[in-house]
Structure 1
Amino acid sequence: MPNIALELGKQAASFGVKSAYGEPQDVDGVSITPVALTLSGFAGGNAEGGEGGTGGGIAVPLGVYVRREEGLRFEPNIVTLLVVAAPFVWIAGRALSRVIRALKK
């Protein structure tokens, strides 16, 4: 029986760039390459002769690289941008209100 941890390690070596950048697609003469933030993790073990392993991952679409005649341009995914920006704006607003409150004293 193969060692599961070694097999997962061999497969994980090929994730990297291949999982973050998708295959370029041609749509109406425009080349589009999807970009994502990817995270993955694996674990394996051997408990008294029994072997086991698990793995998981997540991919968040960041946007696409669009190649036209004018050149290459990155177009962000608006939904992801809003999801990331909302907590940032909330935290920045709270910090600013505390700074203003401290300066008034």
Structure 2
Amino acid sequence: MPNLALELGEQSVALGVKSAYGEPLDVDGIAVTPVAITWSGFGAGSDGERDGGGGGGVAIPVGVYVRREEGLRFEPNLVTLLAVAVPFVWVTGRALVRIIRALKK
């Protein structure tokens, strides 16, 4: 059996930027390019008698680049922005409470 891990690694290198930036689309005369955060992992193994391998990946849409007559502009995905902002605000608030309590003592 050929080395499955090396073959999967070579295929994932080919994805690179293509997995984070989608193909530009033309929507009603406006050029739109989707943007995502992506990561993937692959693995393979053998115990002498059996071989196996697998992989997986995740893509989180973060927004689109929109090209209009006025120029290029990034428009974020509001759902992803909220999913990141809510925990960030919570952690920041907890940190500020602890800092204020420490300063009062």
Q: TM-score, normalised by structure 1?
A: 0.94
Cα deviations by residue, 1:60-84 (Å, 9 ceiling, x for unpaired) = 0000000011110000011101000
Quote the sequence identity (%): 70
Number of the residue aligned with 2:55: 55
Aligned amino acid, residue 10 of structure 1: E
Number of the residue aligned with 1:90: 90
Aligned residues: 105
Give the drift of 1:99.
1.1
Unaligned ranges ≥5, structure 2: none
Give the drift of 1:3.
2.7
Q: Distance in 2 between matches of 1:84 and 1:68?
A: 28
Work out whether 1:42 is the aligned partner of 2:61.
no
Unaligned ranges ≥5, structure 1: none
User: Which stretches of structure 1, 4 residues or more, deviate above 2 A after TM superposition?
Assistant: none
The two structures, once aligned, show a CA RMSD in angstroms of: 1.1
